[in-house]
Chain A
Amino acid sequence: DTAVSQTPKYLVTQMGNDKSIKCEQNLGHDTMYWYKQDSKKFLKIMFSYNNKELIINETVPNRFSPKSPDKAHLNLHINSLELGDSAVYFCASSPMGNSPLHFGNGTRLTVT
């Protein structure tokens, strides 16, 4: 199936741990994104990459580091996890920067 797929779907971990979330899109899109959805369902952009180049970096703690090995993949690594990092993280992609986004099904991160 053509899609934006992210793994894992659920991630439960303890404070202070380091974890990664992976995202892959087979839609041939040039631009990929990470969004964070909080408990009130608010979607806020974190990062955007266009052809492996970082183009948007919102006010996100340095503990969050995106990595794009190629334009089909955008992974998110989080160091020293904190309770406030608990949220659903969505990966998305678009053909060009000004096109609609296609979202993955999210990774629910719970930090205990």
Chain B
Amino acid sequence: GQQLNQSPQSMFIQEGEDVSMNCTSSSIFNTWLWYKQDPGEGPVLLIALYKAGELTSNGRLTAQFGITRKDSFLNISASIPSDVGIYFCAGRGNSGGSNYKLTFGKGTLLTVNP
């Protein structure tokens, strides 16, 4: 089945620093999504990417859909304490039932020191 490698597993940064995390896939995806999960809550969508090469921003967040369609990255600029949480990449293939199946990376735990 499809596998996603997300790195790093965890990051400890100072407030104000920039952050970058990425995901690579063993197969081609036609959709890449980035989610954030706060403790005790469900994942919340941050950015959705639908085309190879697409670069999309959402405030201080920027994500790109890799040209090979097998990778994506998420950057957070000028981090603030409320950026703390687990960030997940997720990807979806383009055939049959895989249109519905969203595969998740294992998450990046971000800690921001004030």
Contact = CB atoms under 8 A, between A and B. Distances in A.
Interface stretch (A11-19, A69-77, A79-87, A100-108): A100-108
Interface residues of A, number: 24
Interface of B: 30-31, 33, 35, 37, 40-45, 48, 86, 88, 92, 97, 99-104, 106-107, 109
Nearest to B33: A100
B63 to A, nearest CB: 13
A97 B104 contact: no
Given A55-B97, A56-B97, A106-B41, A101 B102 contact: yes
Interface of A: 4, 31, 33, 40-45, 48, 50, 55-56, 90, 92, 97-98, 100-106
A100 B104 contact: no
Main secondary structure of the interface of A (DSSP, over half): strand
Main secondary structure of the interface of B (DSSP, over half): strand
Contacts of B102: 33, 45, 101
B100 A50 contact: yes
B100 A100 contact: no
B41 A105 contact: yes
Given A100-B45, A101-B43, A103-B42, 17 more contacts: A31-B100, A41-B37, A42-B107, A43-B43, A43-B88, A48-B100, A55-B97, A56-B97, A56-B101, A90-B43, A92-B42, A98-B31, A98-B92, A102-B45, A103-B44, A105-B41, A106-B42
Contacts of A56: 97, 100-101
Given A41-B86, A43-B88, A55 B42 contact: no
A94 to B, nearest CB: 8
